[in-house]
Amino acid sequence: MAEVSAVLNARLRKNRGGRIGLFLLLALFLLVDLGLGIWEMGGWKAFIATELVVPHQASLWLVLPADVSTYVGAFGMLTGMWWPVLFWGAGVSVFVVVRMLRVRENFLRLRLALAVAGYFAFTAGLSYYAMKGWNFPAVPNPGGTGQPAWTLDTGAAGLVYAVLALLFGRVAYCGWFCPAAAFWGGIGQGFVRYNLDAEKGRRLARVTVPVVIVLFIGTTAFSVLDTFKVLDLRFFGTDPAVFFSGLWWMVIWFILAVFVPFTGSRFFSRFLCPVGAMNGIIGSWGMARLKARDREVCVSCATKDCSGACEMSIVPHLDLASKGYLRSVACVGCGNCLEACPRRNLYYYHFGTWLTEWLRKKKGPPVSAAGPRSG
Ligand code: SF4
Ligand code: SF4
C-alpha cells in the first residue's frame, strides 16, 4: 500500500487532474461522513427537526433563514458523532499503521502509534462519551465539548496540556492527541510537497496565528464573563467559546481537510490552530527540541533532506548547522525530518530522553569485562 501511495503521489505532483480527483474523493468522504451522522441521528427528518427546526421553534420552511450558529451547530453535530468519527479514524489509521511498520526511526514509530491510540481514546472517545451524555473534561479549549463553555475541568485540562508541552513540546498535543496527527500521519505525508513554501508560510503565519490566538482568548474571556453573568454576550445566540470552537474545529477543520491536495499537509495546524500555536509557544519555553548528534555533519550536509520532509515547512537544517539544535514554535514533532536524514544525525530531545540520560549517568559507565581498575 505504501508503494502504491508513493507512486500515486509522484504522479499527482505533476497531475492537476489527479489532484482534483483526490479532492473529489475526499469530498465524497466528507459527504459519507455527514450521511453517517444523519443516519446516526435517526434519518434526515429527525436531523432537521432536532437540529434545525426545534432550536428555532419554527416550521420546516423556516429552516433556511435560520441563523449562522444553527448551521455551525448542525454541521458540527454531524462531524462530531460517533459513527462518522470512527469512519474517518478507521480509514486514516490503515495508512498510519502501514507507515508505522515501515519507518526505521523508533521515535516516529512510537509517535504514529500514539497518534492512532490518541485518535481512538481521545477523539472517538470524546464523541462516545458525549453520545452517552457524559461530560468528559479532556478538551483544552473552552467550548470544545459543545457544553457550557467554561468549567474548572476545561481549565485543568488546559493546564495538563501546558505541562505536557513544557516536558515534551508541541508534539504532546499536535503529534499524539490531535486528530490531525492521525489524519496526516499516514497518507498525508504525500501532501507535504504541496505546502506553501517556508518563506511565504512564515509571512502568512505572522498574520493568521496572532489573529486566531486573539480570537481564541477573546471568545474564552467573553465566555467566562458570560458564565459568571458579568456580561450577557452571545455569538449568534450561542456562548462565544462554544460558537468559536464549533466553527473552527467542527466545520472549518473538516472543510479544509478536503482541500489538502491544494493547501498541502497540516495547513490548519500551520496557520489556523490556536491550541497548537499556544502549545508551540509554551513548548518553546520547555526542554523539547530537535538535536543534531554532530553539528558538523549538518554543516557539511549536501542533501538537507530534513528540510524537504517537514510537515510544517520549517527549514531545520539552518538551525542545526548553526546551533546544533532547533527549537521552533511551529515544530509539531512529527519526526519526518529524523526519518529523512540520510545520516541519521537527528534526534528529538524531550523529558523522556533527559530522564534516560540522567538515569544512565546515575548508574555510571558500564563495567568492562576486565572489571574496574584499582588504584
Ligand atoms: S539533519 Fe541530516 S539531512 Fe538535515 S542537515 Fe543534518 S545531516 Fe543533513
Ligand atoms: S522540524 Fe522535524 S519534527 Fe518538527 S515539524 Fe518539521 S519535520 Fe516534524
> Which residue shows C-alpha cell 454541521?
75
Query: What are the backbone angles phi and psi of residue 238, rounded to the nearest 5°?
Result: -125, 155
How many residues belong to the chain?
Answer: 375
Instruction: Assess whether the C-beta atom of 276 lies below 6 angstroms from ligand 2.
Output: no
Contact 337, 303 (CB under 8 A): no
Instruction: Work out whether the CA dihedral 150, 154, 156, 160 comes out positive or negative.
Output: negative
Q: Which residue type, as a one-letter code, is found at position 212?
A: V
Instruction: Assess whether the C-beta atom of 303 lies below 6 angstroms from ligand 1.
Output: yes
Instruction: Assess whether the C-beta atom of 309 lies below 6 angstroms from ligand 1.
Output: no
What is the residue-wise DSSP string for 169-225?
A: -THIIIIIISHHHHHTTTGGGGGGGGSPPHHHHHHHHHHHHHHHHHHHHHHHHHHHH
What residues contact 120, with CB distance under 8 A and at least 6 apart?
A: 89, 93
Residue-wise pLDDT tens digits, 172-191: 999 998 888 988 888 777 78
Closest ligand, as measured to the CA of 295 = 1
Question: Number of C-alpha atoms within 13 angstroms, CB side, residue 125?
Answer: 14
Instruction: Assess whether the C-beta atom of 53 lies below 6 angstroms from ligand 2.
Output: no
Provide the grid cell at 284.
518553546
Ordered by start, the domain boundaries in the chain are: 2-283, 289-358
Rounded CA separation 47/53 (Å): 9
Instruction: Work out whether the CA dihedral 219, 215, 171, 191 comes out positive or negative.
Output: positive
Rounded CA separation 119/180 (Å): 9
Q: 260: CA distance to ligand 2 center in Å?
A: 19
Q: 207: CA distance to ligand 1 center in Å?
A: 30
pLDDT of residue 306: 94
Rounded CA separation 17/30 (Å): 20
**What is residue 269's DSSP assignment?**
H
Rounded CA separation 241/229 (Å): 15
pLDDT of residue 89: 85
What residues contact 307, with CB distance under 8 A and at least 6 apart?
A: 198, 314, 315, 316, 317, 318, 337
Provide the grid cell at 335.
519526526
Provide the grid cell at 331.
515544530
Rounded CA separation 175/114 (Å): 8
Instruction: Assess whether the C-beta atom of 36 lies below 6 angstroms from ligand 2.
Output: no
pLDDT of residue 184: 84
pLDDT of residue 371: 42
Classify each residue of 270-282 as buried b or exposed e, where b means 16 or more C-beta atoms within 10 Å of its C-beta: bbbbbbbbbbbeb
Q: 313: CA distance to ligand 1 center in Å?
A: 15
Ligand 2 atom closest to residue 336's alpha carbon, by position in its atom list: 7
| Chain CA centroid to CA 187, Å | 15
pLDDT of residue 41: 76
What is the residue with the minimal CA distance to atom 1 of ligand 2? Answer: 331
Closest ligand, as measured to the CA of 334 = 2
Q: 305: CA distance to ligand 1 center in Å?
A: 6
> Which residue shows C-alpha cell 537544517?
317
Instruction: Assess whether the C-beta atom of 338 lies below 6 angstroms from ligand 1.
Output: no
Q: Give the CA distances from residue 45 to residues 84, 161, 212, 347, in Å, rounded to whole numbers and listed in that order.
A: 18, 40, 36, 54
What is the residue-wise DSSP string for 67-119?
A: -HHHHHHHHHHHHTSHHHHHHHHHHHHHHHHHHHHH---HHHHHHHHHHHHHI
Residue segments in the chain with a per-residue pLDDT below the cut of 70: 1-15, 49-69, 130-138, 145-151, 365-375
Instruction: Assess whether the C-beta atom of 336 lies below 6 angstroms from ligand 1.
Output: no
Rounded CA separation 77/58 (Å): 20
Q: 17: CA distance to ligand 2 center in Å?
A: 30
What is the residue with the minimal CA distance to atom 6 of ligand 1? Answer: 298
Q: 351: CA distance to ligand 2 center in Å?
A: 18
Pick the CATH number of 289-358 from 3.30.750, 3.40.50, 3.40.1620, 3.30.70: 3.30.70
